[in-house]
Amino acid sequence: MVSRRGFLGGGAAAAASGVLGATGGAYAAGAVGAENLETFAAKRELAFHGDHQMGIEADLQSVTNFISLDIKPGSNRASMLRFMSLLTDDIFRLSRGEPVLADPAPELAIGAARFSAYVGFGPSFFEKLGLESKMPTGFGKLPKFKVDQLQDKHSSGDVLIHIAADDPVVLAHGTRGLVRDAMPFASVRWVQSGFAHTPGMVPPGITHRNLMGQVDGTANPKLGTADFDKVVWIEDGPSWIQGGTLLAFRRIAMQLDTWDQLGTSSKEEVIGRKLSNGAPLTGDIESDIPDLGARHPNGLSVIPEFAHIRRAAPENLDERIFRRPFSYEAGISSAGSVDVGLLWTAYQRNMENQFIPIQRRLDELDLLNEWTVPIGSAEFAIAGGVRPGEVIAEALFSYGVRT
């Protein structure tokens, strides 16, 4: 008789002996494996300095905190520059897996784990500081959409610090450091925590699944391409925003109790894609271009008129966004309803030309709206990249200020 435990053990032994020839011993194979795992998770770093802030043009990390802050009364450009000086130093160190200065728990700096953080500013920030003239083009409060059921506790804010990493302890430690240094300047308005796949679950560049089961983010511009630059990174306007981007943040609750009552074909028609691999209903693989004109023999559209991908499809090439959505799970009711959804993000050069027209079409007609409800919303202008020796958003604050 082969016990299940024995069978699994045998399988593992076979796998190890496969490595044996290459490394010269079973013990060595185990040791190398563990070391490689550590290298993979802990040692991977994202670059802090560059043309853009970090953590946007990057594969999703596994855990994230969006932290929205309201600045203190009496804040001015000089105090904001001091605020940004602290955050700049902290983020640079954390991105290298190092403790921040004055870290009360430096032993928690155990590896970079692709730590990233970037900083952005909400419309209210510019009003409070009298910096309206420095606001980017196509940026402001989003219009109200019919589908919205927004809650104040999940919405708005003066300053966003968006932190992410591949390890929850690294995330928690980094979050503590950044929030600690924000406290002389601001109070926390809200924190929204989310997650995506653990590294290794899907190959880099492959679209993740959301908690409805859909592959989410298929039509995104590809990282590291000129197309990405054109959709996301701002080239003109006030110098502080050049190399930056505009973020439309939406907390989107999923009504899984009713969604889970649908069958597979109904779910696929709501989206217009196959659940199995994300291919459009008119194609075979995820990267196939949806044929919005295709019809069944009975004359009905293969991708229905109400389907999400039809309504979200850009009407012109400029009307595109880069989505980088994390999932959230915020509890389970006594009746077993899960409070889950997306911390949905759209990055773009101009919200008026990109996110807003797409969202207007979805607001008019998108059957997916039955099961997805925006309950939080915020807008942030993300400052451009940081060169060595510079402070994040320095150009927004430094003119005419004693340094």
Query: Could you write out the DSSP letters of every residue in 332-369?
Result: E-TT--EEEEEEEEEEES-TTTTHHHHHHHHHHS-GGG
CB of 115 to other proteins, least distance (A): 16
**Contacts (Cβ under 8 Å, ≥6 apart) of 126:** 132, 134, 135
Binding of residue 331 to other proteins (CB under 8 A): no
Tell me which of 102, 169, 201, 365 binds other proteins, using CB under 8 A. 102
Which is nearer to other proteins, 89 or 352 (by Cβ)?
Answer: 89
C-alpha 306/C-alpha 166 separation (Å) is: 37
Binding of residue 92 to other proteins (CB under 8 A): yes
Binding mask 182-201 for other proteins (x = CB under 8 A): -xxx----------------
Tell me which of 74, 293, 336, 388 binds other proteins, using CB under 8 A. 388
Query: Three-state secondary structure along 74-116?
Result: CCCHHHHHHHHHHHHHHHHHHHCCCCCCCCCCHHHCCCCCCCE
Binding of residue 86 to other proteins (CB under 8 A): yes
Binding of residue 274 to other proteins (CB under 8 A): no
Binding of residue 11 to other proteins (CB under 8 A): no
Binding of residue 180 to other proteins (CB under 8 A): yes
**Nearest 5 degrees, angle CA 119-CA 212-CA 192?**
25
Which is nearer to other proteins, 69 or 312 (by Cβ)?
Answer: 69
C-alpha 183/C-alpha 102 separation (Å) is: 15
Binding of residue 394 to other proteins (CB under 8 A): yes
Tell me which of 72, 77, 82, 230 binds other proteins, using CB under 8 A. 82
Which is nearer to other proteins, 177 or 278 (by Cβ)?
Answer: 177
**Contacts (Cβ under 8 Å, ≥6 apart) of 7:** none
Binding of residue 320 to other proteins (CB under 8 A): no
Contact criterion met (CB below 8 Å) for 52 and 243? yes
C-alpha 175/C-alpha 322 separation (Å) is: 25
Q: How many residues form the binding site for other proteins (CB under 8 A)? A: 26
Where does residue 213 rank: exposed (0-12), middle (13-18), buried (19+ CB within 10 A)? middle
> What are the beta bridge partners of residue 372?
254
Binding of residue 8 to other proteins (CB under 8 A): no
Which is nearer to other proteins, 146 or 402 (by Cβ)?
Answer: 402
Which parts of this chain interact with other proteins (CB under 8 A)?
Answer: 79, 81-86, 88-89, 92-93, 101-102, 104, 180-181, 183-185, 388-391, 394, 398, 403
